[in-house]
Amino acid sequence: MFLRRKSSRISWSSLLRTKTSSECCNDIFKLKSFLRIQDNIYNARDEAYIADSEFDLFKQVLQTIEKFNPNLAETYTEVGAKPSTRFAKIPHAKPMLSLDNAFNEKDVVEFVDRVRRFLMLDKDEKLDFVAEPKIDGLSLTLRYERGWLVSGATRGDGFVGEDVTSNVRTVSDIPKRLRAKALLRFAKCAAKST
């Protein structure tokens, strides 16, 4: 399988064969360049040349190469893209990071373990999950003051997002005002996370 971007080509078979350290270094450079190009196309231009699943697989191949060559490792960790110049900017109160993918049962078990540690739960305490196939969408952060929606921002680069408050106000499923019950639930969740 080959994926093309102008004159560059990346082959799965060439990435997965045994290699020297310098060949691995070259592969890491190519993969990171390819991923950055795809990120830019996706995040800055709102286009996609490859499917999300293929992008995720390329990231997984990069992580595998780096795992077996720790001296070359500098994991690809970019999230989102620079905020568009077409929108006003909103800095995030806390960094807005990306979610990890789970490709197999081991990944899910490790995720559950991390959730338990973060929430300080015992191993036998019940956790409920909802899982669904990955659906491409938009990540937003919503800010409410005294129960009223005051801003909505995209993830942007994870630290600063685009101000899409006027767009958010048109989405009927996003409450413009939080009722007392919702505020109490939010306050309990916020208290747990600090």
Task: Give the catalytic positions in this structure.
Answer: 134
Assign residue 128 a region (left: φ > 0; alpha: ψ between -120 and 50; beta: otherwise).
Answer: beta
The SS3 assignment for 155 reads: coil
Neighbouring-strand partners of residue 163: 153
Q: How many CA atoms lie within 13 A of 187 on its CB side?
A: 10
How far lies 150's CA from each of 140, 145, 175, in Å? Answer: 13, 6, 11
Closest CA to 93 of 142, 147, 149: 142
Cβ partners under 8 Å of residue 12, min gap 6: 1, 61
**Distance between CA atoms of residues 58 and 32, nearest Å:** 9
